[in-house]
Amino acid sequence: MKREFLAAFATVWLSSCASVPESAPVTVYVPVVKSCVTERPGKLIFESLSDNATDFEKVQELTIRYVRQKQHINDLEAVIEGCL
């Protein structure tokens, strides 16, 4: 009786190990660095003045350059701010 009980217990115990399901695959998300800038801002191009330009034309051109440069800097700051 004791031997039969041990045989039945061993059978149940060993068969329970065979019925354990294999572990299911686990999805692991890994952070990847991605550039936040989608396109490169345009390069700032200035036209050169002629040597015989008047003082007024030179001052006018410098004022235009200043305004364009300020706008370009604002655009670059906006792009950088979007990345943070």
Q: Tell me, what's the pLDDT at 19?
A: 61
Taking the C-alpha atoms of 54, 55, 58 and 63 in order, what is their torsion angle to the nearest 10 degrees? -140
The answer, yes or no, to whether residue 67 has pLDDT greater than 90, is: yes
Q: Tell me, what's the pLDDT at 63?
A: 92
Contacts of residue 10, defined as CB under 8 A and 6 or more positions apart, other chains included, come to none
> Residue 52 is which amino acid?
N
The answer, yes or no, to whether residue 70 has pLDDT greater than 90, is: yes
pLDDT in tens, 10-53: 776 666 655 666 778 889 888 877 677 777 777 888 778 778 88
pTM beyond 0.75: the answer is no
